[in-house]
Amino acid sequence: MTHNRSESPMLLYLLPRYEAESAEHFYHLYGFIRKLNKRIPMEVLAERVAGSLPKDLPIRPLRIRFPAFRLLEEFFRFIAARRRGVDVFYVHYSYTGAIAASIVVRLFGGKVFYWSCSLYKDFRLEPGASWIERLRQKMQERLLEASVRWCTYLVTGTPRVGEYYERHAGIPRGKIRLIPNFIEVARFQSVPRERARRILRLPARGKVVLFLHRVAPRKGAHHLTEIARRILTEAGPVTFLIAGGGPYLDELKRRVEREGLAPAFDIRGWVANKDAPMYYRAADLYLMPSEEEGFPRVLLEAMASGCPFVAFDVGGVRDILPDSLAGCVVEKGDVRAIAAASVRVLRDAGLRAAWRKAGEERARFFSEDRVLKAFLRMLDGQPLDWEKFLSAAEVDG
């Protein structure tokens, strides 16, 4: 793009949340937006703000949290932005924002890019969920489908996820744009392994298996004790480092105690994403037994950190991996297979080294700077060619 920074804003970027200490993957967006702000005229709105706002980003908070009234606030904010010259709205994971922006551009012109990468039809409520929870889930499905149908372009992470929206939401392929998740590679290579273990008070020696994710059945938290039992039986002493919180955390703690696994588990709770690199660098293996994912950024974090991983085959996982890492992925729900793959890599130092190298090389394809260029080209009307993106002869670091 050749826009001059003195021009009126041409892009409004809507964030669901701004929080400098966030444990969520929204944290990755903040550095991306900083770089984007240096390239094109833009404004940023945040639906929720925790803590103070940064001085180096043009972020303005919304005032209303209740969704129905927030939609109205976003509608009038977007009209005002359109009058100031904004002609592109980029909405990240917000039903109300996508719907409000879509109405505004239908009335006053412009384009709406709506990012969504959730396999929403795969969400499964827990047995015994109340009728209110079931009704809420149905409403969220309807709102998401309205968002992806009304926007100008649906932006999602990988070809398989795009096909999912084609199949389940009836979105024509020509309306889908691909922009992968990204990673600031250097941030995940900044802490030496020995120092990471020392800071986290982990044994200097011995294997560490990391689960850094939301502790919920959707993310496979209910499989953790069975996987751990199998690994401990075949791979010897291992510390299972659990970093995250969520609805299954208390039950996980009870199961760990009940099944006599407490000596092998180190449960930390939520970890700010800015501190996540230490956890990956300290680990010998990252475990992702998720039953639902779109484009799991945790795998980019693991690869950038040089941490081998094993994962269930969900969402767009295979889209982002080279053939050399095919052995990292097993059939969804196959606890025996994911445990066996874990044992294999924990016992084989050569395999760990090979997977570590392949992961580090692959993470460079998804560097923040490289995806930023693809993002700018998309705004200029040049859709990303996925195969070309992952077959470039030279990759920016």
Q: What distances in angstroms separate CA 307 from CA 1, 280, 396, one per listed residue?
A: 36, 6, 21
Q: In this structure, are 168 and 198 located in the same domain?
A: no
pLDDT tens track, the chain, 397 positions:
444 444 546 999 999 999 988 888 899 999 999 999 999 999 999 999 998 888 888 899 999 989 889 999 999 999 999 999 999 999 999 999 999 999 999 999 999 999 999 898 887 766 667 878 888 888 888 989 999 999 999 999 999 999 999 999 999 999 999 999 999 999 999 899 999 999 999 998 899 999 999 999 999 999 999 999 999 999 989 999 999 999 999 999 999 999 999 999 999 999 999 999 999 999 999 999 999 999 999 999 999 999 999 999 999 999 999 999 999 999 999 999 999 999 999 999 999 999 999 999 999 999 999 999 999 999 999 999 999 999 865 554 4
3-class DSSP state of 64: coil
Structural domain of 30: 11-182+367-388
Q: In this structure, are 378 and 309 located in the same domain?
A: no
Q: In this structure, are 149 and 190 located in the same domain?
A: no
pTM beyond 0.75: the answer is: yes
How many structural domains compose the chain? 2
Q: In this structure, are 203 and 255 located in the same domain?
A: yes
Residue 250's domain is classified under what CATH number? 3.40.50.2000
Q: In this structure, are 330 and 372 located in the same domain?
A: no
Q: What distances in angstroms separate CA 17 from CA 3, 64, 130, 217, one per listed residue?
A: 27, 13, 28, 24
Q: Give the span between the Cα atoms of 184 and 303, in whole angstroms.
A: 12
3-state DSSP percent of the chain in helix, strand and coil, to 5: 50, 15, 35
Could you tell me which residues are beta bridge partners of residue 11? 42, 88
Q: In this structure, are 159 and 196 located in the same domain?
A: no
